[in-house]
A = this chain, B = another copy of it.
């Protein structure tokens, strides 16, 4: 693999959308390792409904970019089988709301097999899930199911928030010997950034401080990172310095980076699109409180969806955290 890289011309930095960055990352992973296969509904000829895998079938053939029958349990279940034969499958679940038919294969099989075999079996399977709302979609197309998987031991759960991470994290996920559930913020698919294929990326199990600040910490991942960055920008105009931590990985969680931030700022607001109730924010709040008990000026507050199914799109602006709701929580934290 390394030889191949050495003999390749030095790749150039490019402006890419998040979707394209994922595609380029997958392309790189496929070129580096002939065992990597991509599979799912419409991923081949069509290039995926979001065109993330556009061009891959042409380049790598139908055996490596597999248009599957329409069944998610089948996709993940056969991916497990391919992994058992030495392949590294990257499955696409077409939309967040359609991962549930595969829940059994992911939760009882994919997550547990390494432990069950005491390490004899590795399942380097990536399950890609476009997630989240904000695109005016019809029901079942705007879900945020990350909490189900973060609570499932044996899985790694990550979420990219920008094109640069998309490019690197997908490659790290493919290279990882453990199964990875990979969340892609679908409303950010068209966000652009400069991606430098020589930089190497941050390890995908690390959180990063996306914007430094001193007065309070916003914890977010995936689609909400950008919203939090905008909120921090707006807060700065009001004279408040908010730090934004992009978790990047939910499982494992980079507790150290989070705790370091909150100890410094003394306040913390968690933001995600999923319903707050029983959501991953509960883990974050509990964990931060345990580690920062004497540093907290106010309880960790959570902003997220309500305890309702995802609403029809004409109501989604009420459901999704936005600048106002985030800043309202920050205000509440300050006036606690």
Contact = CB atoms under 8 A, between A and B. Distances in A.
Contacts of A289: 285-286, 289, 299-300
Interface string A254-289: 000000000000000000001101111111111101
Given A101-B104, A153-B308, A147 B278 contact: yes
Interface stretch (A106-114, A159-167, A186-194): A106-114
Copies per complex of this chain? 2
A281 B306 CA distance: 19
A151 interface: yes
Interface size class of A (residues with CB under 8 A): 35 or more
A308 B115 contact: yes
A307 B250 CA distance: 13
A73 B105 CA distance: 13
Given A251-B277, A286-B282, A300-B286, A336 B293 contact: yes
A325 interface: no
A151 B147 contact: yes
A336 B294 CA distance: 10
A293 B283 contact: no
A226 interface: no
A280 to B, nearest CB: 6
Interface of A: 73, 97, 100-101, 103-104, 107-108, 111-112, 115-116, 139-140, 147-148, 150-154, 250-251, 253, 274-275, 277-287, 289-290, 293, 298-302, 306-309, 336
18 contacts: A73-B101, A100-B103, A103-B103, A112-B139, A116-B139, A147-B151, A151-B274, A153-B277, A153-B307, A154-B308, A279-B283, A282-B284, A282-B285, A282-B286, A286-B299, A286-B302, A289-B300, A290-B299
Closest 6 pairs between A and B when the two form their complex, measured CB to CB: A282-B282, A151-B278, A285-B286, A103-B103, A100-B104, A282-B283
